[in-house]
Structure 1
Amino acid sequence: IRYGGAFENLERASKRLSLVVPLALALIFMLVFFAVKSLKHTLMIYVAIPLAAVGGVFSLLIRGMPFSISAGVGFIVLFGVAVLNGLVLINGLNELKKEGILQLDEIIKKGSKRRIRPILLTASTDILGFLPMAISTSAGAEVQRPLATVVIGGMLTSTLLTLIVLPVLYRYVESGKKRLKTRKAIPSAAFAILLIAGLGISGETQAQDTTFSLQQAIDRAKLNYPSIEAARLEVEKQKAFKSASYDLGRTTIFTGKEEVGNSSLGTQNQIGIVQSDIDLFSIPAKNQLAQARTKQAISQQNLNEFTLIRDVSMAWYGAVSAKQQWELYKQLDTLYANFAKAAELRFKTQATSRIEYLSASAKYKELLVNIRKAESIYFASLQILNQYLIYPSEFEVDIKDVELHVYSISSVVDSLQGSPFIDLYAKGVDVALSNWKREKANYLPKLNLEYTKQAIEGVNGFYRWEAGISIPLLPFAQSGRTKVSKYDYQIAGKVFEQNKLEIVAGYNQQLSRYVTLRQVLEFYQQEALPLAEEQIQASTLAYNLGSIDYVQFIQNVEAAINTKQKFIIQQSEYFELSTSLKQLTGK
């Protein structure tokens, strides 16, 4: 049986539609991807298609219309318009992100408010444009009504759900990029809908940034930094030198004959052993030198560790200061954005001139540039810190309890008792003294021993032994070496005294500056910073009420910002002095 006429046309059109709809969906996906250049954002925008399809199906169901070719064409039109609304919203959010507004919640709120009007206007234009076709009763209405019904119903659900679902998905994806460390598949509800629609996607995997406190950074650097391991190996090397203190001389083994000839068998030295230059008397002096060098290596190891702690602390505090500067600019972003909006509103209502509006816009753009600059400085400081941490992935610094590890003041004598610098110089004096004693021990005699097993005239059972000492009768070379070592000891003592004086003077100078800075910071924390914050709030309120002009507003706000920036700079210097004092005192 072969059906013809309208049924044959419907069957042929349905087959073409089954090819055209997937092709249209694929083309829409490609065009959106080329527009946003992000697979995640493309998939988020594509969520609008199933949301629109739900409205189109329900609108046909409510009006009691069957699915037809014109309804299928309506779905194709609907998909393109629905995706356009999602594209407008996501592009708006990404633009705010590129402008330097880095608080995610603020990006979503501002972007949604900024894009809600064009999205609603686009949707209402489409709905009103297809409304006459949806209620048409003239000739050809049976073709127009299903198409218009699908578009109107789909636009209603797509617009409302897009404004709700897309911001939620955007926050989920963008916040996950910064919070999750462990990679794991997280299927979302929107992805499940897309799977039903025939587009398989996988859950997003993201990584959470690790946060390092100061103590955590120091502990990791101690484990990984090469200078600490090199100092430890130097200690082991000096310990190995201790065995060189025991010099038992050289061993000689020989055989031979004496007094042989004239038919005499003579004396046969069957085997002889000679141990010469046995240096027993200088063993204590050499042992003392080895111990002194070992202690010096341990002192150097301690100094290397304190130096590493200082370097890591300075890099960490530098990152903290850069982060505080960055966060200060980010806090000002909302303030200057509202200032720019207020200036725009006053300009539109002719309350002020265009100069004020342009100045406000320029100030806001300048702030955005400063935000980007502060962000780049912060991440550069993290790279400096990472040369000590050798951490393989991204991390941040924890600025909570930043004053927890600052230097505590005590008396000069008590503070410098454990100074690694003074201890190292003192160990240098000990090494010079031990070396002088070793050189003097070279005047002591060395022992020589000999034993020989002999046969005389062919008769075995005889032996010979000798014991003696060797001393330098003309010790000119040794005398010179001893004098040199004595001068080295005296020089080391004077160098120690000079360095100790410099360390005490440097400590007093840094401590005086440290105490002054602490008083300055207390002033900022108790008076200057609260006043600066109050000044910003009062200036903002006064400008919004029209009590002050934009020049006064900018002057007041910049004065308050300058106060906060000075506090960050003074605090950074305070932390650097604290770190230097802790290294100097070994605390």
Structure 2
Amino acid sequence: MNIRLIIFLLFPVATFSQTQQLTMETAVQLALQQNKGLKSAATNIDYYRDLTGTSTELPKIGVNLQYGQTNSYVKNDNNYSVSQTIPFPSVFGAKKQLNDAQVEKAVWYKATTQNELIYQVKQVYVQLLYILEVRELIKHQDSLFTNFARGADLRYKTGESRMLEKTAAEGRLNEVRNSLRQNEADLKIYIARLQALLGSNAPIRIKETEIPAANMLFENDSVAVSGNPQLQYLRQQIVITEKQQKLFKASILPDITVGYFNQSLIGTPLNATGTPLSTNSNRFQGFQVGLSLPVWFGPLKAKVRAEEKQRQIASLYYDNSMLQLQSQYEQAVQQFIKQRNSLDFYQRTALPNAELLLNQSSKSYTSGDIGYSEYFLNLEHVLSAQQGYLQARNDVKQAELYMAFLAGRQL
């Protein structure tokens, strides 16, 4: 029997998805390649580019046949005619400009989508790093309170302490282990969020181990947000209303009609001299040119006036969005400064003090100089400082990412 067949029969075939090791930058690159929303925005550009081919679109050509007693009692007279209506030439130019403006709008929509996507990927990635760092802290807490609970249980059995100390130690240990379970759930939640942003359900693993340091240079708010693609997208909407208004104005101009006819004149003299009547073999042809003029200009002018209101709306919305972004950026700068100052406090003061407090409390509790309640309280202060430090690192990095998002300048 073939060796491959033996292996196939002995070992069931299983498929394994290879776990992707991600850094922040590789996560961003994967999202840019795979995210369905961004692909949709890119396809939207292609859609409007294809529409530019309609700029020279003409109405359908008219082909007519007239047959019967059209000229005399003869019943088989016929007339063939072809006519084509052509918009005024300036309409074609106006349509082309409008379609080009639509393409540009789609380009900025994609840029806006990409800016938001990069921000969301980095935001979730940093949050995952924070969750992983918190997990390590919780494990450290578990180790501390496990030792505390063992010591309290031993002292209770030897009669050196009361049930209260043992109960408090075990209760706090259970709280820590519950926090670890919650942390695992948070990790799964944010992994799922990152997978959705990456446009893939493949297993992923965070390669980095700690939150990157924040290093943001501040700019004047009006200068910073000017590069935000959302503003460019809204500015392009103003351009589109202007091009649409120009098209409406061009549409008021008359349409041009050109045509050709070919007909028979059976039974009718060709001239007044009494020449023989024409027959089926005699054909008469000619051309026609005409103008199509609007009977009532009111509705057409109303479209132009209405589109002017649309331009004003788009302009006001752009101005309001600019003010909002400037305000959000200013708030983000202050938030960044606040969080950075908090991080400096933890790094320079809180963490060194917490480390010193932990060492002294452990020695004093072991030697019997302090009771369990004081030791327990000191542990809580230490762990609170460590937790606050991790939170401050996360907050300052998230504030930096938000500033970069508002400025349209991803780090």
TM range (shorter): 0.7 to 0.9
| Residue 290 of structure 1: how far off its partner (Å) | 0.8
Separation in 1 of the partners of 2:144 and 2:74? 122
Q: After superposition, where does 1:478-493 map in structure 2 within 5 Å?
A: 478-493=300-315
Cα RMSD, aligned residues only: 3.1
**Residues 1:429 and 2:251 are matched in the alignment:** no
AA at the equivalent of 1:309: I
Q: Does 1:296 align with 2:118?
A: no
Confirm or deny: 8 A CA contact 1:281 1:445 kept in the other structure.
Answer: no
Contact 1:247 1:279 in 2 (8 A): no
After the TM superposition, which of the residue ranges 335-344 and 560-569 deviates more from structure 2?
Answer: 335-344
What is the CA–CA distance in structure 2 between the aligned matches of 1:247 and 1:207, rounded to whole Å? 51
Counterpart residue number, 2:169: 360
Instruction: Quote the residue 2:35 is aligned against.
Output: 225
**3-state DSSP of counterpart to 2:90:** coil
Q: Deviations over 1:332-354 (max 9, x none)?
A: 22222333333345455555445
Aligned to 1:416: 225
Residues 431-580 of structure 1: pairs in structure 2 closer than 5 A: 431-454=240-263, 457-458=278-279, 460=282, 462-580=284-402
- C-alpha spacing 1:438/1:355, structure 2 compared with 1 (3 Å): same
Contact persistence 1:312–1:388 (CA under 8 A): yes
**Cα distance 1:448–1:518, how it changes in 2: closer, same or farther (>3 A)?**
same
Task: Name the CA shift for 1:562/1:249 in 2 (closer, same or farther; >3 Å).
Answer: same
Does residue 330 (structure 1) correspond to residue 152 (structure 2)? The answer is no
Once residues 230 and 263 of structure 2 are traced to their aligned partners in structure 1, the CA distance between those partners, rounded to angstroms, is 63
1:500 Cα shift? Answer: 1.1
In the alignment, structure 1 residue 261 sits paired with structure 2 residue 93: no
Secondary structure at the aligned position of 2:287 is classed as strand
Check 1:473–1:365 CA distance in 2 against 1; reply closer, same or farther (3 A cut). closer
The 8 Å contact of residues 250 and 277 in structure 1, kept in 2 or not, is answered as no
Note the 1:178-197 alignment, pairs <5 A.
none
Deviation at 1:450, TM superposition (A): 1.2
Is the counterpart of residue 250 in structure 1 residue 60 in structure 2?
yes
Give % identity. 20
The runs of 5 or more residues in structure 1 that have no matched partner are 1-199
Cα distance in 2 for residues equivalent to 1:248 and 1:366: 75
Q: Is the 8 A contact 2:97 2:243 kept in 1?
A: yes
Q: Spell out, residue by residue over 1:77-113, the C-alpha distance to the aligned partner (whole angstroms, 9 max, x if none).
A: xxxxxxxxxxxxxxxxxxxxxxxxxxxxxxxxxxxxx
Q: What do the CA deviations read for 1:101-137 (whole angstroms, capped 9, x no partner)?
A: xxxxxxxxxxxxxxxxxxxxxxxxxxxxxxxxxxxxx
Q: CA deviation at 1:503?
A: 1.3
More displaced, 244-253 or 494-503? 244-253
For residues 206 and 169 of structure 2, what CA distance do their matches in structure 1 show?
34
Q: 1:574 to 1:260 in 2, by over 3 A?
A: same
Cα 1:218/1:494, change in 2 over 3 Å: same
Q: Which amino acid aligns with 1:410?
A: E
Name the counterpart of 2:184: 375
Q: Is the 8 A contact 1:277 1:470 kept in 2?
A: no
Cα distance per residue 1:45-88 (max 9 Å; x no partner): xxxxxxxxxxxxxxxxxxxxxxxxxxxxxxxxxxxxxxxxxxxx
Mark the CA change 1:469 to 1:260 in structure 2 (over 3 Å): closer, same or farther.
closer
C-alpha change, 1:466 and 1:302, in structure 2 (3 Å) is same
Q: Distance in 1 between matches of 2:200 and 2:308?
A: 49
Residue pair 1:407, 1:579 contacting (<8 A) in 2 also = no
Does the CA-based 8 Å contact 2:133-2:210 persist in structure 1? no
- Is the 2:254–2:291 contact (alpha carbons within 8 Å) kept by the matching residues of 1? yes
Deviation at 1:435, TM superposition (A): 0.9
Are the structure 2 counterparts of residues 438 and 201 from structure 1 closer, same or farther at C-alpha, using a change threshold of 3 Å?
A: closer
Counterpart in 2 of 1:581?
A: 403
For residues 149-188 of structure 1, the C-alpha deviation after alignment (integer angstroms, 9 at most, x for no partner) is xxxxxxxxxxxxxxxxxxxxxxxxxxxxxxxxxxxxxxxx
The answer to whether the Cα contact below 8 Å between 1:246 and 1:279 also exists between their aligned partners in 2 is: no
Deviations 1:289-336 (A, max 9, x none): 111111111111111122222222332233222222221110122222
Structure-2 change in CA distance of 1:461 and 1:356 (3 Å):
closer
Cα pair 1:285 1:441 within 8 Å, conserved: yes
Match for residue 212 of structure 1? 22
| 1:187-242: CA deviation from partner (whole Å, max 9, x where unpaired) | xxxxxxxxxxxxx999xx99985432222222222333321122122212211221
Structure 2 Cα separation of the partners of residues 439 and 201 of structure 1:
73
Partner of 1:389: 198
Whole-Å separation in 2 of the counterparts to 1:393 and 1:467: 67
Residue 201 and residue 460 in structure 1: after superposition, are their counterparts in 2 closer, same or farther (change >3 A)? Answer: closer
Aligned CA distance change for structure 1 residues 434 and 529 (closer, same or farther; 3 Å): same
Q: CA deviation at 1:579?
A: 2.8
Aligned equivalents of 1:369 and 1:262: distance in 2? 104
8 Å contact kept, 2:255–2:292: yes
User: Partner of 1:281: helix, strand, or coil?
Assistant: helix
CA distance in 2, matches of 1:292, 1:547: 79
Question: Cα gap change, 1:368/1:455 in structure 2, threshold over 3 Å: closer, same or farther?
Answer: closer
Offset at residue 259 of structure 1 (A)? 6.6
Counterpart of 1:240 in structure 2 is: 50
The answer (yes or no) to whether the contact 1:421–1:584 under 8 Å persists in 2 is: no
- Scaled by the length of structure 2, what TM-score is found? 0.83
DSSP 3-state at the match of 1:502: helix
| Cα separation, partners in 2 of 1:396 and 1:537, compared to 1, 3 Å | farther
Rg: which structure is higher?
A: 1
Q: Which residue of 2 aligns with 1:8?
A: none
Q: How far off its partner does 1:464 sit?
A: 0.8
- State the secondary structure of the residue aligned to 2:252: coil
Q: Residues 321 and 263 of structure 1: is their aligned pair in 2 closer, same or farther, counting only changes over 3 Å?
A: closer
In structure 2, relative to structure 1, the CA distance for the partners of 1:367 and 1:474 (3 Å cut) is closer
Letter in 1 for 2:229: P
Q: CA deviation at 1:366?
A: 3.1
Greater helix proportion: 1
Give the 5 Å matches for 1:142-157: none
Q: Residue 442 of structure 1 aligns to a residue in which SS?
A: helix
What is the alpha-carbon distance in structure 1 between the residues aligned to residue 373 and residue 66 of structure 2?
112
Aligned partner of residue 557 in structure 1, secondary structure: helix
Distance 1:300 1:393, change over 3 A: closer
Q: Tell me, what secondary structure is at the counterpart of 1:448?
A: strand
Q: Is the 8 A contact 2:86 2:257 kept in 1?
A: yes
Distance change in 2, residues 1:472/1:206 (3 Å): closer
2:253 match: secondary structure: coil
